[in-house]
Amino acid sequence: MTTGVIAAGDKETAAAGAAMLRRGGNAVDAAVAAAFASFIAEAGVVHLGGSGIAQLYDARTGLSRVYDFFSVMPGLGGARPEPLDFEAVVIDFGAATQRFYLGRGSVAVPGNVAGLCRLAADYGRLPLTDLLEPAIRLARDGVALAPFQADTCALLAPLYTHTEGIRRVFAPAGHVIRPGERLHIADLAETLAALARAGAEYARSGPLARALLADQAARGGLLTAADLESYEVLRPTPIRLPYRDHEVLLPPLCSAGGVLTAFTLRLLSAFGVAERPHGSAAHLQLLVEVMAATTRARAQWDGWLEASPGDEATARLLDERLIDRYRDEVRAALADRQPSPIAAEPPGPSNTSHLSVMDADGLAVGLTTTAGESAGYVVGGTGYIPNNMLGEEDLHPQGFHVRPAGRRIPTMMTPAVILHNGRPRLVVGSGGSARIRSAILQTLSNLLDYRLPLGEAVNRARVHLDGDVLQCEVGYDARAVDELEAMGYRVNRWAARSIYFGGAHSVACGDDGALWAAGDDRRGGATAGV
């Protein structure tokens, strides 16, 4: 009998989680161990110095809980340094370039250590020394970098060669690390071993915190001791909504992605999705229109967030009267077979990683982390690579460093749990900026509307509405796409599968209790079961 399954962004990440299940740990133990391992195995996209959001559901007790350990604006009790270490680099994505900012002034208050340790202490079975053992081994021995991770490092070469310290990690032989070459992060094994012994205080006020703060103070950063001491892991209850004969649990703010996904699902639930053949022009148009309606609604919601508390603004967005108005707009577009108005949407950071875990006792965990792209340096003597969440233009539309110290930064991260008759049916999340929502929407609909097997639900071709252009991944029937274009929709046809469309690593439980896992092959997906 399978006692647990995990889907993650790398085989070493999945193996770390499976190792905890074999030791008698539960899904929380597996998720925490896997997340720490990902900071080495998936160092192309995530780091210890980042932050995240997790969601768990326990079928035995009915407990549902979100763990919000996302980044917070720094600077409590401190003065802005002059000069601020805040430098731009430009990344060439081929079809477009994007500017990111690095340096000590790009570092937001990190949450990974606090959040993962709190999650393990609250609901795990195994000690932190066990949970960190796989990560310590990977940090000590190095890891052969998977193609997806190496390709990401190559793409982000200006960030991962920005300083001498980070070049020693990502370009030790004079070139950016290549697939199969071993990645070593000097001193990180010792840092993780000390963290395993001391717990979260090691990063809050202990030696790791002191090293990070000393580096910040000496080199133009904003982080203060008060920032680290006052940081809180929030534990809100999720947004709950019905979808077909299931219940969907989504994280609330600071997860803008969770709130907006709730809006999209409320829209979609009014339409007979399965009546439209999968991949047909009718199916694609429905997806486009609910995405477009959500983006238009987001523009309203963003304005409400500026003028009122987050809970109040969210309640207005999810009010049935507003949703009915947008449903009518979708119906009109479908009936007229022509596009509805399009609004632009800021994408947000795409360097994220998601993992999903479920055990035989009915405990389910979804966990998503990010470090932005990293701040371009390593804290000396620790192997600790900080985030650059203050250097993401998309997260700071009003300008850099203008939010007050202590304010949480919004995120698109959306680890979701779907229930059927009180039991976890699906755990899904994704990396990929604004594509997180479209990846989750389509994976969920593929499974619950079209009843596809989990592997197909995760890896079927996807679409994403980017401005007024529908990005269409290879795999759709060209005739259906032609028909959509004839209606007046602008379409960009992709010739290959791409990380652009997210990485929805998912686990599911069948009606017979069988557990399944599916990695998204766009982002190095890997699975393991025990």
Contacting residues for 484 by C-beta, under 8 A, at least 6 apart: 281, 284, 285, 288, 470, 491
Residue type, 325: R
Phi-psi region of 56 (alpha: psi -120 to 50; beta: other; left: phi over 0): beta
Q: Which two tokens stand for residue 1?
A: 């009998």
CA atoms lying within 13 Å on the CB side of residue 305: 17
Give the pLDDT of the chain (530 residues) as one tens digit per residue.
789 999 999 999 999 999 999 999 999 999 999 999 999 999 999 999 999 999 999 999 999 999 999 999 999 999 999 999 999 998 876 655 678 899 999 999 999 999 999 999 999 999 999 999 999 999 999 999 999 999 999 989 999 999 999 999 999 999 999 999 999 998 999 999 999 999 999 999 999 999 999 999 999 999 999 999 999 999 999 999 999 999 999 999 999 999 999 999 999 999 999 999 999 999 999 999 999 999 999 999 988 998 899 999 999 999 999 999 999 999 999 999 999 998 877 655 557 899 999 999 999 999 999 999 899 999 999 999 999 999 987 788 788 999 999 999 999 999 999 999 999 999 999 987 778 999 999 999 999 999 999 999 999 999 999 989 999 999 999 999 999 999 999 999 999 998 889 999 999 999 899 999 999 999 999 999 99
Compute φ and ψ for 92, nearest 5 degrees: -95, 110
Strand pairing report for 87-92 and 63-69: unpaired
Strand pairing report for 490-493 and 469-472: parallel
Catalytic residue check, 264: no
SS3 233: coil
72 beta partners: 109, 408
Contacting residues for 490 by C-beta, under 8 A, at least 6 apart: 468, 469, 470
Q: What is the pTM of this model?
A: 0.96
Please report the domains of the chain, with CATH numbers, ordered by start residue: 4-50+64-230+362-395 (no CATH), 239-348+414-520 (3.60.20)
Q: Closest by alpha carbon to 409, among 220, 234, 276, 210? A: 234
Contacting residues for 49 by C-beta, under 8 A, at least 6 apart: 107, 110, 112, 371, 374, 375, 384, 385, 386, 387
Catalytic option among 161, 294, 352, 414: 352
CA distance 479 to 281: 8
CA distance 412 to 175: 33
